[in-house]
Structure 1
Amino acid sequence: MSDLPEYYFRIRENGAALFRVDTQNRQRRIEMTELAAINVKNGNVRAHGDHVLTDEEKAVITEWITERREVLAERDLDDIHRAVDYLNLTTHWAQSRASDEDLEDVTDRLLLAMHDLRSVLVRKKADRLMKGG
């Protein structure tokens, strides 16, 4: 069990809880002591209870926040690429397999979502073109 990391991050919706992992006890059980709650979006770190974070713990948290933000940004971009695939699959479905009832159920919501997306994309593209030229 000595291969376990010293710290463990339990992922939460907006961040994580940081735990210290301890196997150096008489029973050789894994014990986890909560040290802090971390909000990855705004960078807030709250020590758990009356625990005072050490410099090492602060450094571990800072490194984790940086890495976690990178992972989340990669996932966001991957989700967008998947959305493009879904749009193409949806087009094929609407053209080849959807019943009239299916289309009636989704058409208005899809049209509004696509209109909203198109408006944002066109405005953002225009902003980029104005900055570049």
Structure 2
Amino acid sequence: MADDLPEYYFRVRENGAVVFRVDTGNRQRRIDMEQIAVVNIRKREIKPHGDRALSDADMVAIADWMEARQDVLDHRDIDDILRTVDHLNLTAQWAQSRATDAQLDRVTDALLLAMHDLRTVLVRKKADRVLRDK
């Protein structure tokens, strides 16, 4: 099992990860994880832990992880939005076919304001793209 472990472990956190080097080559054959860096994906920052100097191999592994992680996050963003579209369709069906007057009174204003805000942003962004592409 220890031979199958990766050389690095990335503990995901909100804006990136804490990076550990995985070591199984000790006498006790136990797994040691030594923190080597902290990564901020949004700022594209890699900060070595303490006074540590990161090797070229460390930097390559971290950069590869950051790229792969950003791809995952981008995919999740789009997937979340497409789920929202599905949920809006289900909400419309619910409002038309099953919602009671009391339920509609409870959610109508919040839904209308959220949809108005979203529509305003989408229309403005689309207009910006159309004008930019001319």
How far did residue 123 of structure 1 move?
Answer: 1.3
How far did residue 10 of structure 1 move?
Answer: 0.6
Give me the whole-angstrom Cα distance separating, in 2, the residues matched to 1:97 and 1:50.
62
How far did residue 101 of structure 1 move?
Answer: 2.1
Match of 1:94 in 2: 95
How far did residue 65 of structure 1 move?
Answer: 1.1
SS at match of 1:80: helix
One-letter code aligned to 2:120: S
Runs of 4+ in 1 over 3 A off after TM superposition: none
How far did residue 131 of structure 1 move?
Answer: 2.6
One-letter code aligned to 2:73: L
Match of 1:127 in 2: 128
How far did residue 24 of structure 1 move?
Answer: 0.8
SS at match of 1:51: coil
- Unmatched tracts of structure 1, length 5 or more: none
Taking structure 1 as the reference length, what is the TM-score of the superposition? Answer: 0.94
Give me the whole-angstrom Cα distance separating, in 2, the residues matched to 1:91 and 1:122.
21
One-letter code aligned to 2:70: R
Match of 2:20 in 1: 19
Match of 1:45 in 2: 46
Match of 2:34 in 1: 33
User: Number of residue pairs matched?
Assistant: 133
How far did residue 118 of structure 1 move?
Answer: 0.6
Residue-by-residue CA offset, 1:49-71 (whole Å, 9 max, x unaligned): 22211111111111111111111
Matched, 1:54 2:55: yes
SS at match of 1:41: coil
Give me the whole-angstrom Cα distance separating, in 2, the residues matched to 1:105 and 1:39.
40
Give me the whole-angstrom Cα distance separating, in 2, the residues matched to 1:115 and 1:12.
33
Taking structure 2 as the reference length, what is the TM-score of the superposition? Answer: 0.93
Give the percent of matched residue pairs that are identical in Structure 1 and Structure 2.
Answer: 59
Q: Comparing 59-68 with 34-43, which one deviates more in the overlay?
A: 59-68
Match of 1:111 in 2: 112
RMSD: 1.1
One-letter code aligned to 1:102: Q
Q: Comparing 65-74 with 99-108, which one deviates more in the overlay?
A: 99-108
Residue-by-residue CA offset, 1:93-123 (whole Å, 9 max, x unaligned): 1111222222222111111110011111111
